Amino acid sequence: MTKNAHPLSPSSTPPPDASPRPVETGSVIPMRSARPKVAPNVVAITSGKGGVGKTNVAANLALAYAEHGARVLCIDADLGLANMDIVMGVAPTYTAAELVRGEVAVEDVLLAVHDGVWLLPGASGQYDLANLSDVARRNLFSAVDSLDDRFDVIVVDTGAGVGTNAVGFASAAKDIVVVVTPEPTSVADAYGMIKVLVTRCAVRRVKVITSMVASTAEGDQVFRRLASLVTRFLDASLDHLGSLPRDPALSRSVMRGDPILRAYPDAPYSRAMRAIASRLVQQDDVDDRAGAIRLFWRKLLRQGGRP
Ligand SMILES: Nc1ncnc2c1ncn2[C@@H]1O[C@H](COP(=O)(O)OP(=O)(O)O)[C@@H](O)[C@H]1O
Ligand SMILES: [Mg+2]
């Protein structure tokens, strides 16, 4: 299949529909696709430090992909601070915790949160991928495996920090996106995270979003600082996907329980996020992801969620 024919190709972009509509929740999962089978792309959002805006990046990136016509699954894999449900404005009945215990089917856990976007909610501190029993692993693996032809993109919010499950989730994805802010601690911790991904998980390419910046010039400067460390000390290449401005509308959208892309579609953050999503869509190499989802889960389960 040629790249242009892919459903995520920019040429098939429908105009974004930003009109407010009620949040629809339920257990309906997308139909199996009549489109030719292409494995979904797995994009992991991670960071060295918490509180840099990762969960909002994951949620709004999912919505931006959906504006391109993609069917997107968001997995809340931040096992410490699972809060994608709050950003998405939904109150899940079941979470991944009941799924891995085999108490519910994946259809009962998934929530249709927005047009084209489904959420597999996480559960803070309730389960630990690193210590799943064999049965629990099988439950999780087969549940997500059964979904692989129903989604075009899987966005994983992995949580932050080296030495956590975040590293395992991130290293197993095809696209690894590290979110970094201008604070020196954030840059230092982003470098630490990338170092672990490169030295322990053989990752060679990392994508970077600079966030909470005052200007694109500041975003570029933060990226250059991080890139100079990486190119000096590590055998890896970094790609700057773009900058997200510090935008007071973001916090308002979280208070409303409506992702900023929908709540304030013309806010500077929303515009910048759409540009970043378009860049990811353009970079997506369909040929590069044959079996990407299976590989993702195999790698993840083999390492027990650990680097
Ligand atoms: N670009 C931004 N502009 C303004 N505030 C932001 C921005 N990104 C994040 N924030 C603030 O930081 C808070 C934490 O964001 P969140 O996405 O939950 O971070 P993380 O998942 O990395 O811990 C948000 O609720 C919001 O108030
Ligand atoms: Mg978070």
Query: Which residue ranges form the domains of the chain, and what is each CATH number?
Result: 39-302 (3.40.50.300)
Q: What is the 3-state secondary structure (H, E, C) of 76-138?
A: ECCCCCCCHHHHHCCCCCCCHHHHHCCCCCHHHHCEEEECCEEEECCCCCCCCHHHCCHHHHH
| Residue 300 pLDDT | 64
**pLDDT confidence bin for 159, thresholds 50/70/90:** confident
Q: What mean pLDDT do residues 9-36 have?
A: 45
Position 14 pLDDT exceeds 90: no
Q: How far apart are CA 300 and CA 44, in angstroms?
A: 12
Q: How far apart are CA 175 and CA 157, in angstroms?
A: 12
Distance 117 CA to ligand 1 centre (A): 21
**What angle (nearest 5°) sits at the alpha carbon of residue 157, between those of residues 151 and 160?**
160
**What angle (nearest 5°) sits at the alpha carbon of residue 78, between those of residues 205 and 263?**
90
Distance 246 CA to ligand 1 centre (A): 9
Position 43 pLDDT exceeds 50: yes
Report percent pLDDT > 90 for the chain: 51
Q: Identify the residues whose C-beta falls under 6 Å from ligand 1.
A: 47, 50-56, 211-212, 244, 246-247, 250-251, 254, 269
| Residue 160 pLDDT | 78
pLDDT digits (tens, 9 = 90+) for 71-123: 999 988 876 777 999 999 999 999 888 888 888 988 899 999 999 999 999 87
| Residue 155 pLDDT | 93
Q: What mean pLDDT do residues 188-192 have?
A: 96
pLDDT digits (tens, 9 = 90+) for 118-155: 999 987 766 565 556 667 766 776 777 777 778 989 99
Q: How far apart are CA 79 and CA 118, in angstroms?
A: 19
**pLDDT confidence bin for 294, thresholds 50/70/90:** low
Contact 8, 284 (CB under 8 A): yes
Probe residue for ligand 1, chosen from 251, 255, 261, 270 as the CB with the greatest number of ligand atoms within 8 Å: 251
20, with CB counted inside 10 A (0-12, 13-18, 19+), is exposed
216-233 and 184-201 are packed helices; what angle lies between their axes, rounded to 10 degrees? 40
| Residue 19 pLDDT | 40
**pLDDT confidence bin for 9, thresholds 50/70/90:** very low
Distance 208 CA to ligand 2 centre (A): 17
The DSSP call for residue 71 is -
Q: How many CB atoms lie within 10 A of CB 302?
A: 11
Probe residue for ligand 1, chosen from 83, 87, 250, 273 as the CB with the greatest number of ligand atoms within 8 Å: 250
| Residue 71 pLDDT | 93
Averaged confidence pLDDT in the chain:
81
For residue 179, the ligand closest to its alpha carbon is: 1
